[in-house]
Structure 1
Amino acid sequence: MLWIPVDRTAEKPLIRQVYDQIRQQILHGELHAGDRLPSTRELAEDIHVSRNVILEAYDQLLAEGYIESRRGSGTYVAEGASFAFAEADIPQPAAASFASSAQKNSDIINFRSGLPALDHFPRKLWSHLTQQIYQQADASLFGYDSPEGRLELRQALSRYLLRTRGVRCSLDQLLITTGAAQAFSLLTNLLLTPDSRVIVEDPITNEVQTIYTRSGATLVPVPVDMHGIQTDLLPADERAAFAVVTPSHQYPLGSILPIQRRIALINFARATDCYLVEDDYDSEFRYSGPPVSSLQGLDPERVIYIGTFSKILSPALRIGYMILPSSLITSSRQTKRLSDLHSPTLDQLVLARFIEEGHLERHIMKMKRLYHKRRDTLISSLNHTFGKLVQIEGESTGLHLVAAFPGINFTDTAIMQALEQTGVQVYPVEIHAVHTGYHSHQIVLGYGNLTEEEIIEGVKRIAHALQAEV
């Protein structure tokens, strides 16, 4: 008799339950090659299910080669269907794992940087524009499209970026990407070989480091101070493929690169014949004056400009863009096509209309007021709670700031565990450092997706965790 328990209260269909259990018994060798299985009628009666359930389960097992049917004889386990693997290698049900994780972390206040206020996404307006686009779309728009992106979005973007960021480009220079991460990845195919060298700010986001080291490139770190990358330390004898910089809001330290260093950076790139990759990820949210002008506007043929809508609107949109020197236009389109053919067409059209009708700039102004309040709440809470024990840096722009606690080492596992146990998650600057040991006293605190109440409570929890240290 074949033992197959079924659970009629489970979400998994009975057919799948029967199929899964027979399959597992065959894979684990509990049912051996040549073993005869009960007839569909016998098994249906034994476990009290419809015969159709057993028929469909057997059909699936037969189609996948686990069993074989012998005319006039019955159904047997097929040869070569057992598989020896460790029990620990069998993945656990994702739903159960997710539920336990969500329950465990439901009260965590997460100071993750780069995350906008997700509950303030303009859902109603976006839904309305999406409906318009889908209703008006020609049938051809549901087919394959051009790798560089829709003309409508590139036109809207070029006008917006010139007006707000001083970016100068032709429409041909604009390439729509699936977020900034894809843009960085495309550069590995465009410009890097396994022996290439890439100059990076130190510290710089760990994601950028990973993308380029995985391509085989060697990173050449240049230290950052309170004014950004220290251009006087750029290696004059270095022949790098490009240098990655965040001049409008350095990540993670938050500094703004002054014009003198911008000029020095461009002169260095010209002298060493390398490109500059300008990562402009959240500079729209500047709280004292308008956004800083782009580096790209100073030398469009030397600077590769990368932007994204993940911080302005939502990471879920997966829309970013690159502005490339004219010499890279053709190769970038070929590389993009080989990567994913093209970015989602209709989403691009929705975003284009969102920009053209002025909704983007109104949304930015609205969110700027909200983030300003959240930033001020965080600064006030830190100062009120820690006083002179904390130093606040990089707070003028963006969705995060850096809190420095001299004498505290946030690479200490015990300290990070204490923070987690009090229900707060922070991010050491040190995890973004190429040369470690210089930023262990600093943490990145993102506030974009936290309410003012959560920010105040989060700072209290940080203080509770650090009480033995400060």
Structure 2
Amino acid sequence: MGKLDRTQGELGRQLTRVLREAIRSGELKPGESLPSTRHLAETVGISRGLVTNAFEQLIAEGFLEAQAGSSTRVSRSLSALLSTLPPSETAGQPRKTSRTNRTSAAIPAPTLPPRAAAFADVARQFTPLPPVPFAVSVPIGPTAPDDTWRKLGNRTRGLRAAAPSGYDDPQGVPALRAAIADYVRKSRSVHCTPGQVIITAGTQQGLYLACQILLEPADRAWVEDPAYRGITGILEATGNAMRMVRVPVDESGIDVEAGIRKAPDARVAFVTPSHQYPLGMPLSMARRTALVAWARANDAWIVEDDYDSELRYVGHPFPSLQGLAPDRVIYLGTFSKILFPSLRLGYAIVPEHLVPSFCGARGLMDRHPPSADQHTLAAYIAEGYLDRHIRRVRLVYAERREHLISTIASRIPSSLGWLQPGDQGMHLVLWLAAPIDDLAVAAQAMAAGVAVRAVSPLYAAGNGRPGLILGLGGYTDAQTEAAVDKLGAIIAAASGAPRSRKRRVSAKTIAGSIAG
């Protein structure tokens, strides 16, 4: 049996642990009597009270049993369990390897349920990129909220309403819901009252709630092709993969007629109408009208992920789809990207008759979002700071975008990579020549200190095109140029083509052609 380390203190806890391990290893066998508390205390040199406490703890845990008038014994009920352990654990033999390695070698690992494997795969794909070019939404320098956020946080936390308290409303803090309702009415042409706003932990949670509430196991759902991995991952991991109908996207957005041909009876359509993810085009007015008409005719729902709507660099942001059909659209937005990703505050705006359902599902998930940051964000919006921050970020990202476009045009041959046209958002899509493996390029780029994501996994199986998502962040021109050089070398090597010399191209000319 192991010894006690008097230099570490807590001798009673140490004795409990030593006895527990002796039983687990088979050094003390089921039914075997232990010395009396007095004798054991004298033997190990600690007080009898500590020994008694150790015995009582192990009796409570089921390792020991005691009967009036008899000695304390190792529990006989452990026999079946200990008989399943490998011989080295039950014979008290010296340990040659760690417990984890020895046990895993002798006992087969449990078989994971299919959903567990699916969630594990999602976890691998959602591993955050490091804060280097070209990770999306890295708030550095001028793209980060200024000191106003800290000051507002200090002020609101000092108020009684924002101080730590009991459970809060699963719908969210009323002041923030009112501020959001006013903000989306003015900036996104959304029709709602504060009572229709549900505060979420970002768009991802809003998508998860919508899937839980709107879809029955047999229901089919339209999903764009390509699409945000967050929605396809939810449907795959929750058993609805076979009911997911991938609807192609073209220059006008999701092809509604194709969706009707494939699944006219779908229950929900998940769309990104203001800025299609990942390609960037807006949903045309004709397609918006057709989508709403289909939803009304088939008693279906539309879930609008208003991705990157604030960051349009030519003209004003496109109005929301929700404004055309407030009774049919669940509108999802977030502040995590435009402010900072760790904020984890977003919102769902739902038809009034769905509010209780969303509140109930939210209550089962995590009751409600943390309240203190909600009060800070409410003040940040109501006092005009959010509008000012968005204007500043839009200018910064417009400059970063123009510089990235011109750098790519001058340093990566168009025969190997070319940019998807678009005029908004926090990222660009760099298409790669067909033989190039975008997953391999992304992995090699990461090893070289350049953070990009591959486009092909965002498509349905068999439809993928090779490309890379390049995020706009608070990176300097020098960082951008160095990252493009590394990326260009990796792409050239993947294609087997030699690197070409840098070309001088007007940034303004290239930016204009991409916007068109």
| Map 1:378-393 → 2, pairs under 5 A | 378-388=404-414, 389-393=416-420
Match of 2:139 in 1: 117
Match of 2:121 in 1: none
Q: Please, which of 24, 45, 69 is the counterpart of residue 27 of structure 1?
A: 24
**In the alignment, residue 87 of structure 1 is paired with which amino acid?**
T
Q: Deviations over 1:18-58 (max 9, x none)?
A: 7666644543435544375894565469xxxx999999877
- Give the drift of 1:202: 0.5
- Partners of 2:25 and 2:210 in 1: CA distance: 46
Match of 1:358 in 2: 384
Distance change in 2, residues 1:52/1:145 (3 Å): same
- Give the drift of 1:142: 1.8
TM-score, structure 2 normalization: 0.75
Q: Secondary structure of the equivalent of 2:330?
A: strand
- Give the drift of 1:288: 1.9
Match of 2:513 in 1: none
Matched, 1:433 2:471: no
Match of 2:258 in 1: 233
Assess if the C-alpha contact under 8 Å between 2:276 and 2:307 holds in 1: no
- Partners of 1:156 and 1:352 in 2: CA distance: 6
Q: Deviations over 1:179-216 (max 9, x none)?
A: 22221122223211100000010011122012123444
Matched, 1:142 2:165: yes
Q: Please, which of 159, 164, 176 is the counterpart of residue 153 of structure 1?
A: 176
Distance change in 2, residues 1:442/1:417 (3 Å): closer
Identity of aligned residues (%): 35
**In the alignment, residue 145 of structure 2 is paired with which amino acid?**
P
Matched, 1:405 2:432: yes
Stretches of structure 2 that go unaligned for 5 or more consecutive residues are 86-98, 110-127, 498-516
Assess if the C-alpha contact under 8 Å between 1:19 and 1:57 holds in 2: yes
TM-score, structure 1 normalization: 0.81
Q: Secondary structure of the equivalent of 1:264?
A: helix
- Give the drift of 1:239: 1.0
**In the alignment, residue 294 of structure 1 is paired with which amino acid?**
S
- Give the drift of 1:280: 0.9
- Greater Rg over alpha carbons, structure: 2
- Partners of 2:174 and 2:491 in 1: CA distance: 53
Distance change in 2, residues 1:127/1:422 (3 Å): closer
Assess if the C-alpha contact under 8 Å between 2:157 and 2:163 holds in 1: no
**In the alignment, residue 117 of structure 1 is paired with which amino acid?**
P
Q: Please, which of 100, 105, 108 is the counterpart of residue 87 of structure 1?
A: 100
Assess if the C-alpha contact under 8 Å between 1:169 and 1:323 holds in 2: yes
| Map 1:48-447 → 2, pairs under 5 A | 64-66=61-63, 77-80=74-77, 87-88=100-101, 109=132, 111-113=134-136, 115-117=137-139, 121-122=144-145, 124-138=147-161, 142-217=165-240, 218-236=243-261, 238-388=264-414, 389-393=416-420, 395-410=422-437, 413=440, 415-439=441-465, 441-447=466-472
Q: Secondary structure of the equivalent of 1:130?
A: helix
Stretches of structure 1 that go unaligned for 5 or more consecutive residues are 92-104
Q: Secondary structure of the equivalent of 1:322?
A: strand
Assess if the C-alpha contact under 8 Å between 1:399 and 1:447 holds in 2: yes
Assess if the C-alpha contact under 8 Å between 2:133 and 2:473 holds in 1: no
- Partners of 2:253 and 2:130 in 1: CA distance: 36
- Give the drift of 1:271: 2.7
Q: Deviations over 1:434-466 (max 9, x none)?
A: 243431x21112232655443333222222323
Q: Secondary structure of the equivalent of 2:276?
A: coil
C-alpha RMSD of the superposition: 3.7
